[in-house]
Structures are given as structure tokens and as C-alpha cells.
Amino acid sequence: MISNSIPTYSVQELNAAIGNLLERGFAPRFLVEASVSKSQLKKGHLWLTLTDGQSTVTAVIWSSTLKKLNYKPEDSDGVVVIGKLNFWQARATLVVQVLDIRPSISTVLRQFELVRDQLLEEGLIDAMRKRQLPSFPKAITILTSVPSSALADMLRTAKERWPLTTVYIYPIPVQGEVHKQIQMALDKLNALHEELGIEAIILARGGGSREDLMVFDNLDLCRDIARFPVPVITGLGHEDDLVVADLVADHRAATPTAAIVDLLPSREAFKVDCAQRKQRLKDYCSWVVRKEEQCLKERRKKFLSSTPLSIIKSQRIKLKEKAKLLHAFFPGRFFSNGFSIVVNDSGQVIRSIHEASLNQNLMIEVVDGSIKVNVRNTYLKVENK
């Protein structure tokens, strides 16, 4: 027998009660972190089976929502879903209606690693391939979203640093699966860069999550960046963000504004450098003038000292000095003081009594002539002690 205290429902009433209970007791919107174990497109709607490895739940992206999404999940993708519950009373079926869906960081990192490894194998990620940035580019192109605060900062910085550079702006979408649009932009610039005189391009995107930068991990887009005919600078996201496009580019900047700073020279720094060069040139010219002036003075002095009168005067001084020297060593000085020189018949000077012999004829040279003598005797000088 059934107690009257137990409520009785028809199937429709039971399903309606469950629906009311869910509507009152569950959040109108929520986040779900999961992996896509199965995705299937039916009549324009994308049906997903979400799992965390332990449980599963069915989710659906209605065609009207699917058209607005930038990201289309595939099997095995990690995702973050913004959704709400749909409970269909007729069949008592519960599904998650997807309002927005994005790849999880695990999916982003997996794609980054796959594309990076592929391009490493192809030789497109190689430090030896990176080209040097132009020192004073006449024209550059910025590829970014328009309008955006990142573009405004870049244009302001470009004007402040080096206003002589012509900056072309090419609007591109920078979020979602937009790699084909970016590739089309690169193709057009490839055809026009010589005509416009473009010497470098900047691929820029302002801040955002790492998931928002996933388009710059696209394999085909990164190949086009690596093979672009002029240097490519990337300024994508924040300083800590790294995408495959950064690896194949010729230069990676931390931010969009930093890309302009790295590419364009500083007007103020160049003015300081010019002032320093001017001062160095001025100092060099002054040094050259002083050096030539000193050289001219030395040549003038040398020229003046080479006139006939100065030569005669110089030679006269030299002759006087030689005369003084001759006078100092002239033997006549000694003769005038009573000294004399004794020589034998052979003209040899007699310095000792032992060099003379008895009856030998000797000549005594005195100041005014010679005296011929004959040795009769010799006497040995005895010193007193």
C-alpha cells in the first residue's frame, strides 16, 4: 500500500520539478575545465563530450554561437568552457550549453612544442638564420590590430625616437584562428616591400593570456614569417610570453613598444653622439693646427739658421773653439815655460838616461830653436827620502 505522504508525479511533472530544482539551485553560468574526448558536427551544431578522465558530460555549441567563436576545439584538446545547464524536460536530458570556449594552457603548450619541434627539424629555428636589423630604416611596416592601445604607444614611440622613418600600418586580426588572414597580409607585403622601400616589419599584439596568443604558434604562419624577405621583429603579448613566431623571427622584443625601441635609433642618443663626434673633430683640428704651427716654427728656425751669414757665424764659432783646443794642447806653451824635448838622431824622444849613451849626439828642442849636444856623462837622479 502506497502512503499518501509520498508525492506523486507524472513523468512530465517529475521532469519539470527536476528542471525547476536545477534552475533554482545551480549557477546560471560556470566554468568547466576538461578535455574533449569526442567532437561531432550535426546540423551546424557542434556536440562535445567533455571529460576529466573520471567522468564525462555532454556539451553543445549551437550554430549561432559557433559562428562567433575564434577557437574550434578538436579531439584531445584541453579546454576551458564558459557554459550553463540545459535540461530538456521532454527527455530528461542534461547537457552543458557552451557560451564560450578556449584552449587550456596544456593544449597551448602542446601545440607550441609540436610546431617548434617541426620547425627545428626543417632548420627554420636557427640563430645563424637571423638577420641584422637595419641601423636607420627609411620605412617599416607594423602589423597589428587597429585601433589598439599597443599601436598608439608604438606610433608615439616611433615619432619620439626617429621621425625620419616612414611607418606603414597594416591592420590584422590578432586573436582566434586568424592565421590565414595574417598570412594574406604577409603575402601582400612580400609583393610590395621593394616598391615601398620597407626594410623591416613588426608583428605586434598587446597583452592577453597565453591562450590568446595561440595563433602565433601556427605552423604555416611561422613558416611564412621565417621566409619573409626582410627582417621580422615580434612584439607579442608580455615579456614572459613566448610563442613559436618569436623563435623564427629575426628579433624578439618583450612588448610591442619594445619592438619599436629595438628597431628605431634614438634621436636623443644620436644627437648626443653627434655632439661628441663634433667635439672630437674640433679637438682633432686644433691638434693638427698646433702640430703644423710647431712644424712651421721649427722649419723657420732651421731656415734662418741656414743663411750664408749664419753659416759663416757658426763656422767662425767652431773655428774659435778649435783654436782654443789647439792652443791648450800646443807644445809651444810648455817650451815658453822653460820645458824642452830631447831627441836622438833618429828623432826619437829621450825620456830616460838609459836611452842615451856616452858620446851620442842629441838635439834639445827649445822654444826658439834646437841645440846640438854630445853626451859626455849621465847622472842618475836620486830622490830624497
* DSSP line for 260-309: HHHHSPPHHHHHHHHHHHHHHHHHHHHHHHHHHHHHHHHHHHHHHTTSHH
Task: Look at residue 118 in the predicted model and tell me its pLDDT.
Answer: 95
**Spatial separation of the C-alpha atoms in residues 134 and 202, rounded to whole Å:** 13
Judge whether residue 216 has pLDDT over 60. yes
Q: For the packed helices 179-196 and 219-226, what is the interaxial angle rounded to 10 degrees? A: 10
Residue 316 parent element (H or E): helix 308-329
DSSP, res 142: E
Residue 37 cell numbers, joined:
574526448
Residue 144 cell numbers, joined:
597589428
Average pLDDT of the residues of the chain: 88
Three-state DSSP class for residue 75: coil
* Mean pLDDT along residues 335-362: 82
* Mean pLDDT along residues 330-344: 73
Task: Look at residue 334 in the predicted model and tell me its pLDDT.
Answer: 66
Reported pTM: 0.62
Task: Look at residue 125 in the predicted model and tell me its pLDDT.
Answer: 94
Encode pLDDT of 165-214 as tens digits: 999 999 999 988 899 999 999 999 999 999 999 999 999 998 888 888 98
Contact 210, 237 (CB under 8 A): yes
Q: What is the 3-state secondary structure (H, E, C) of the chain?
A: CCCCCCCCCCHHHHHHHHHHHHHHHCCCCEEEEEEEEEEEEECCEEEEEEECCCCEEEEEECHHHHCCCCCCCCCCCEEEEEEEEEEECCCCEEEEEEEEEEECHHHHHHHHHHHHHHHHHHCCCCHHHCCCCCCCCCEEEEEECCCCHHHHHHHHHHHHHCCCCEEEEEECCCCCCCHHHHHHHHHHHHHHHHHHCCCEEEEEECCCCHHHHHHHHCHHHHHHHHCCCCCEEEEECCCCCCCHHHHHCCEECCCHHHHHHHHCCCHHHHHHHHHHHHHHHHHHHHHHHHHHHHHHHHHHHHHHCCCHHHHHHHHHHHHHHHHHHHHHHCHHHHHHCCCCEEECCCCCECCCHHHCCCCCEEEEEECCEEEEEECCCCCCCCCCC
Task: Look at residue 333 in the predicted model and tell me its pLDDT.
Answer: 65
Q: What percent of the chain has pLDDT over 70?
A: 96
* Mean pLDDT along residues 80-102: 88
